[in-house]
Amino acid sequence: MKLYSFFRSSASYRVRIALNLKNIPYEIIPIHLRKDGGQHRSAEYKMVNPQMRVPSLELPSGDVIVQSLAIIGYLNEIYPQPPLLPADPVARAQVRAVSQIVACDIHPLNNLGTLQYIKNTMGQEQPVIDAWYHHWVTAGFEVIEQMLKPGPYAFGAQPGLGDICLVPQVFNARNLKVPLDAFPKILAANEACLKLPAFDKARPENQPDAE
């Protein structure tokens, strides 16, 4: 498998964690989101992913799957062990809800394309952009903090989809200096996850394109 990835992309980070947890071999194809005007905007990459975003997962068949949650869902169906979702339907829905708060509510408002648009098109200064970023992370984390179960991981004794989405978002929040002291359960789950090889290997600083 080939994973088109940017080392600091939290969506790519999610997929790297899932691949590592499943112990699936993969090759990283770096797509830099800033160099050359954004390598994801190239004609060559548009042929891989018409949305021109990362990650994209190219299967041995040549098929390409885009969008991190769709990729992770595919991996969990094809490689069911270890499972990334609990067996109980209510618990599965709760895990998916936390994952979607990150992937659908927080991340789209704070990804690189959104922040560049606020700065370059809307003409906002960096302090305003930082306040925007902090607001949406904090609003999402306030809800997630209430939804997490007793640890050590986000939903109990095994890491899963909730952790896969949370850990990259915590990385981003720290990178943008969002205060996180009000979220002890999130921080505890994050620290527990980062002790695992699958999460450690997926860290941005451990990628071949890290700067």
pLDDT tens digit string along 84-94?
Answer: 999 999 999 99
Alpha-carbon span 2 to 16, nearest angstrom? 11
CA 41 – CA 47 distance, rounded (Å): 10
- Domains of the chain (ranges; CATH) run 2-82 (3.40.30.10), 89-198 (1.20.1050.10)
In the sheet where 56-58 sits, what is the strand order? 27-30, 2-5, 56-58, 64-66
Question: What percent of the chain has pLDDT above 90?
Answer: 97
Q: What residue spans of 29-125 are helical by DSSP H? A: 43-48, 68-78, 89-100, 107-110, 112-116
| Separation between Cα atoms, residue 125 and residue 70, nearest integer Å | 35
pLDDT digits (tens, 9 = 90+) for 108-162: 999 988 999 999 999 999 999 999 999 999 999 999 999 999 999 999 999 999 9
Asked if residue 10 has pLDDT above 90, the reply is yes
Tens-digit pLDDT profile for residues 163-192: 999 999 999 999 999 999 999 999 999 999
Give the residues across from 54 on adjacent strands: none
Strand partners, 153: 156
Confidence (pLDDT) at 211: 87
